Amino acid sequence: MKHRNTLLPLIVLLCVLAAGCKKKDEETKFRYLTGLPTFSMPQYATMNQTFTVTPAKVTNPDGGGYGYYWKTSWENKNDTTKTVDSSSDGSYTFTTPSEIGEYTVTCVVFADGFSTSSSRSTVYVIDTELGTTITDDGIAPADPQMTDPRDGKVYYTTTVGSQIWMRQNLGYDGSGIPYLASTAMDHLFGRFYTWEEAKAACPDGWHLPTDAEWKELAQTLSGGTFTEGKTYTDVAGKLMANAKFLGTRMWEYWPQVDITNESGLSVIPVGYCVESGRSRFVGLNSYAAFWTADGSDGMGLYRYLYVDKNDLFAGRGDNDSFRTTVRCVKD
Does 48 lie in the same domain as 142? no
Q: Are residues 189 and 115 in the same domain?
A: no
Same domain, 110 and 194: no
Q: Tell me, yes or no, whether 221 and 118 share the same domain.
A: no
How high is the mean pLDDT of the chain? 90
CA distances (Å), origin 185, targets 111, 179, 215, 306: 38, 6, 29, 22
Residue-wise pLDDT tens digits, 149-159: 999 999 999 99
Task: Give 276 or 165, the one with higher predicted confidence.
Answer: 165
pLDDT tens column, 258-300: 999 999 999 999 999 999 889 999 999 999 999 999 998 999 9
Q: Report the pLDDT value the prediction gives residue 265, as an integer from 0 to 100.
A: 98
- Determine, yes or no, domain membership for 75: yes
Domain co-membership, 113 together with 167: no
Residue 76 lies inside a defined structural domain of this protein? yes
Among 78, 109, 126, the domain boundary falls at 126
Confidence tier at 36 by pLDDT (50, 70, 90): very high
- Final residue belonging to a domain, choices 99, 126, 153: 126
29 belongs to a structural domain: no
CATH number at residue 93: 2.60.40.10
Residue 27's pLDDT band (cuts 50, 70, 90): very low
What mean pLDDT is predicted for residues 65-87?
79
What are the φ/ψ torsions at residue 171 (nearest 5 degrees)?
-120, 30
Q: Domain check: are 205 and 311 in the same one?
A: yes
Q: Are 179 and 320 members of one domain?
A: yes
Query: What is the rounded CA–CA span in Å between residue 262 and residue 251?
Result: 16
DSSP line for 171-215: --TTSSB-GGG-GGGHHHH--BB-HHHHHTTSPTTEEPPPHHHHH
Contact between 146 and 135 under an 8 Å Cβ cutoff? The reply is no
The identity of residue 137, as a single letter, is D
- What does the alpha-carbon distance between residue 178 and residue 288 come to, in Å, rounded to a whole number? 16
Segment 32-43 shows an average pLDDT of 94
User: If you average pLDDT over residues 315-319, what whole number do you get?
Assistant: 95
Flag whether pLDDT at 8 surpasses 70.
Answer: no
Q: Are residues 153 and 242 in the same domain?
A: yes
Residues 43, 44, 45, 47: is their CA dihedral positive or negative?
positive
> What percent of the chain is modeled with pLDDT above 90?
78
Domain shared by 195 and 298, yes or no: yes
Do 114 and 149 lie in one domain? The reply is no
Task: Identify the domain containing residue 303 by its residue range.
Answer: 134-330
pTM: 0.86
What is the tally of structural domains in the chain? 2
Tens-place pLDDT, residues 117-139: 999 999 999 999 999 999 999 99
pLDDT at 142 (0 to 100): 96
Instruction: Decide which of 126, 155, 177 is a domain's last residue.
Output: 126
